[in-house]
Amino acid sequence: MQQQKKVLVLLAHGSRDPRWQEPFHQLTQQIIENQSNPVYLAFMELCSPSLEEVVAQVDSQQYQQLEIIPLFFSAGRHLRHDVPQQIEELARKYPQLSIHLQGPIGLHPKMTQTLTELIQDM
């Protein structure tokens, strides 16, 4: 029997500017190289791939557990309203998928610790 694999989706805000998008692709590549689970990048709005496009791909590959990791520094309207609404629609469309939205990664204590140390040297 195949083991259920967790899929990680890095979720960034999105922008029409390709110079804004590019670092997220690089970051995703770096994470893929250090990760045994499949990792995807999705954008909330303004550019592709959208969360919906990524979830369709994940579903077609028969993964079942999906962790969404927001590349945000805090949670406002987007992470409290817009993204949960997108997830609700996706959960209806793909009832076999378990989709979980994490808190903003920028607020993780390890991230704020690194930030605090970084700024000490500036």
What tokens were used for 91? 């959960």
- How would you write 16-49 as a 3-class SS string? CCHHHHHHHHHHHHHHHCCCCCCEEEEECCCCCC
Q: Which of 4, 48, 62, 80 binds its own copies (CB under 8 A)?
A: 80
What tokens were used for 63? 């993964």
Phi and psi dihedrals of 111, rounded to 5?
A: -75, -45
85 binds its own copies (CB under 8 A): no
Q: Which of 45, 75, 94, 97 binds its own copies (CB under 8 A)?
A: 75
Question: By CB under 8 A, which span of 35-43, 51-59, 82-90, 91-99 interacts with its own copies?
Answer: 35-43
Nearer to its own copies, 8 or 90 (CB): 8
The minimum distance between CB 2 and its own copies, in angstroms, equals 21
54 binds its own copies (CB under 8 A): no
Interface positions with its own copies (CB under 8 A): 6, 8, 12, 15, 17, 19-21, 23-24, 27, 30-31, 34-35, 37, 39, 67, 69, 71-77, 80, 102, 105-108, 110-120, 122
